Structure 1
Amino acid sequence: MSAPETIAVAMSGGVDSSAVAALLREQGHTLVGLTLQLWNQRRLAGHEGMPESVQGRCCSIDDVYDARRVAEHLGIPYYLVNQEERFENEVVKPFVSEYLAGRTPIPCTLCNNHLKFDALLITARQIGADRIATGHYARNHYDEARGRWILSRPADRSKDQTYFLFGLTQDQLAHTLFPLGEMTKPVVRQMAADAGLALAKKPDSQEICFIPGGDYSAFLAAYLEDVGEEQPDLSGELVSTAGEVLGKHAGIHTVTVGQRKGLGLTSPNPLYVLQIHPESHAVTVGSEAELMGTELYADRLNWISIAELTEPIRVEAKIRHRHEPAWATLSPAGEGLAHVVFDEPQRAITPGQSAIFFQGDEVVGGGWIVNRNS
């Protein structure tokens, strides 16, 4: 790394961001630790279906305490930045609206794209920091020939987090460090242990910060009650691809494309959710073969390695965090849309999820899936 800088470290209270702080301090940089307070973990406790305990979740109060302890151990100033109101307006409310409309949004991507990096950079500049550093597993560099900052997959593909970062702007990439991009998780844990950090063996959080246990339906009901809104009746019919009514469902917000269990249907062959129809509240079900699709459209696009998409290009497209990128042709489709046609059918292409596009390790860009055709 270059000459010492003043760097604001995004400290989540986890191993990765803590190891980043220890590494940058060892390299001689002037550091300030920042934690974003995004959600009051006690807010919905006690509502029906919501646990009383708030421990063990991403961005919990335990994580704030851990981040503060790491900052004290490293001898760096530390600040908690309250972004609860903005988080609710820009992440939680859109998440609720999308789910009630029969789509399956990714709140972590929404948070990174619209809140975290923006809020961190604003705060960093206010305190005189040159750049921010995070514990994400990703890489970035400036390409002189193209005159653009490039986002790339990390050395440790098993920890790749670029799927959640496709919305970063050129300015954000220019002022962000990803020190773990060349490292593996075991190396990072050892680095934290060598720095004397007590949380070196702390397990990774797997839950969405505001949805304990991943029970989306319980969260939606509790949140709507909390804000004084009546939960709409989104129940409807389960229908075959031929239009035959097979049964009923409790609400389009209770099912997702690709779901098999919990449909309450008896069939000689497994049935899966193929499509959700927000207007009629109908849910189409069918065989696993019918779940396969060859194309999608995406909107709200952000381009990283290119300035804009002007002609068809070959990419590998990723449609879920755990999806193995698949070869496809990416084309402009007018009106802010991109059209993706896969070489081979892909399982459960889901509106509301994000799709990102790679050429080699580079992230070309990404957007949000808005349509599915089989």
Structure 2
Amino acid sequence: MTKQRIVVGLSGGVDSAVTAHLLKQQGHDVVGIFMKNWEDDDNSEFCSSRQDFLDAASVADVLGIEIEHVNFAAEYKDRVFAEFLREYQAGRTPNPDILCNAEIKFKAFLDHAMRLGAEKIATGHYARVRFNAPTGKHELLKGLDPSKDQSYFLHRLNQAQLSKTLFPVGELHKTEVRRIAAEIGLPNAKKKDSTGICFIGERPFREFLNRYIQKEPGPIRDATPPAGDKAHGRVIGQHVGLSFYTLGQRQGLGIGGVKPKGAARGGGEHQPWFVARKDVEKNTLWVVQGHEHPWLQSHQLQALDASWIAGDPPAAADGSPLRIAAKTRYRQADAPCLMAVHDTHQNAAVENSQRTAGFALQFPQAQWAVTPGQSAVLYDGDVCLGGGVIASAQA
């Protein structure tokens, strides 16, 4: 392999640390960059940025590589956090980690690395990149460790980004990464994996949103009985604001002791309540009782703001709907489906949207709690094809 100058995003975690080690072992000229993407809570117990940088610097010292601390907080606030708040205020549930990868880690960071003379960048993501010679395209593949695969979060990357990117630990299982880290004496070999959204950390999510989104309390209505039942739509509680709930949510509803009408007859009083719909116009939260309630099951969805790894959407030779697989949320098994691509302007399903190039998916088996704002990510086996933002779902 030709020696290259590779800039590694060192997060302070074990995955990026082993990434840098593997590349250095291969003889590359490796430089580390620590990205600071959030600075509103530098003095907060929930902000781990300072400790993460110290961990990253310790790794760089052990590996004998340079490390630079780069502040992308302004770009992050403008390109990621502002969109995050807009989506929540509209009643949707966005995934900021996907936007962060597309806009910060593989755009702002990539641009900075190129200015440093890098030929490639590398991160500790569990995914793989493969060049397909017959098509002349780079492909994004799932990581070999199925329990850690992160291709879902990387589906918005394009050909230019993938051509400059390496994911060394995508070829390994997490247990092997930990073993390597311990073997070479990395100080963070046993460091706990980070979880959740980077700027929220371990703090309660509702507490964080309170700082940015105004509470607008409203009724919680019961949709469990049939529509013809007099109990349908009865108010059984009050929500604190639609932005603070997501479809399929079970905890934190404050209605755990409420029984459905006719529970004595149906025997369903012990089934948990779930958020099933959010009516933004009427500021109403609809809940149902039982995991398998029809309102939580969707056979179809519409997605907008599509992004395709190859640059163009995949298509069947005869123009018929394409048989592929999709995930409507992370850590979900691939679900077989039919995809039809469509173009749309100002789709009514997404308020004030300028998004174009969407697609529709049809699932033979119903998908649970398909959530507007989340991403539907498409696969052909191990190959990630791209995806889009879920705008609506139907039974």
Q: TM-score, normalised by structure 2?
A: 0.86
What amino acid is aligned across from residue 39 of structure 1 in structure 2?
W
What's the counterpart of residue 322 of structure 2? 313
The answer to whether the 8 Å contact 1:68/1:78 transfers is yes
What's the counterpart of residue 54 of structure 1? 46
Distance 2:133 2:115 in 1: 29
Residue aligned with 1:171, SS: helix
1:1-374 matches, cutoff 5 A: 2-40=1-39, 42-43=41-42, 52-54=44-46, 57=48, 60-213=49-202, 215-222=204-211, 224=212, 231-241=213-223, 242=227, 244-247=233-236, 248-265=238-255, 266-267=258-259, 268=269, 269-287=271-289, 288=291, 289-290=293-294, 291-305=296-310, 307-310=312-315, 311=319, 312-335=321-344, 336-374=357-395
Structure 1 residue runs without a partner (length 5+): 46-51, 225-230
The Cα offsets for residues 285-305 of structure 1, whole Å up to 9 and x where unpaired, read as 224322111111111111124
The Cα of 1:333 is off from its aligned counterpart by 2.8
The answer to whether the 8 Å contact 1:151/1:305 transfers is no
Shift in alpha-carbon separation, 1:254–1:112, aligned structure 2, 3 A = same
**How many residues of Structure 1 are paired with residues of Structure 2 in the alignment?**
356
The Cα of 1:275 is off from its aligned counterpart by 1.1
Distance 2:387 2:358 in 1: 11
What amino acid is aligned across from residue 259 of structure 1 in structure 2?
Q
Q: Which 4+ runs in 1 deviate beyond 4 A?
A: none
The Cα of 1:220 is off from its aligned counterpart by 1.6
Distance 1:41 1:197 in 2: 30
What amino acid is aligned across from residue 23 of structure 1 in structure 2?
L
Greater shift in the superposed pair: 248-257 or 351-360: 248-257
Distance 1:239 1:333 in 2: 35
What amino acid is aligned across from residue 284 of structure 1 in structure 2?
W
The answer to whether the 8 Å contact 1:292/1:346 transfers is yes
Residue aligned with 2:85, SS: helix
The Cα offsets for residues 74-112 of structure 1, whole Å up to 9 and x where unpaired, read as 221211111011111112221122112211111111111
Shift in alpha-carbon separation, 1:183–1:141, aligned structure 2, 3 A = same
The Cα of 1:326 is off from its aligned counterpart by 0.7
The answer to whether the 8 Å contact 2:129/2:140 transfers is yes
The answer to whether the 8 Å contact 2:220/2:286 transfers is yes
Percent identical residues: 38
The Cα of 1:216 is off from its aligned counterpart by 2.3
Residue aligned with 1:283, SS: strand
The Cα of 1:279 is off from its aligned counterpart by 2.0
What amino acid is aligned across from residue 330 of structure 2 in structure 1?
H
The answer to whether the 8 Å contact 2:94/2:373 transfers is yes
The answer to whether the 8 Å contact 2:46/2:202 transfers is no
Distance 2:167 2:9 in 1: 11
Alignment RMSD: 1.7
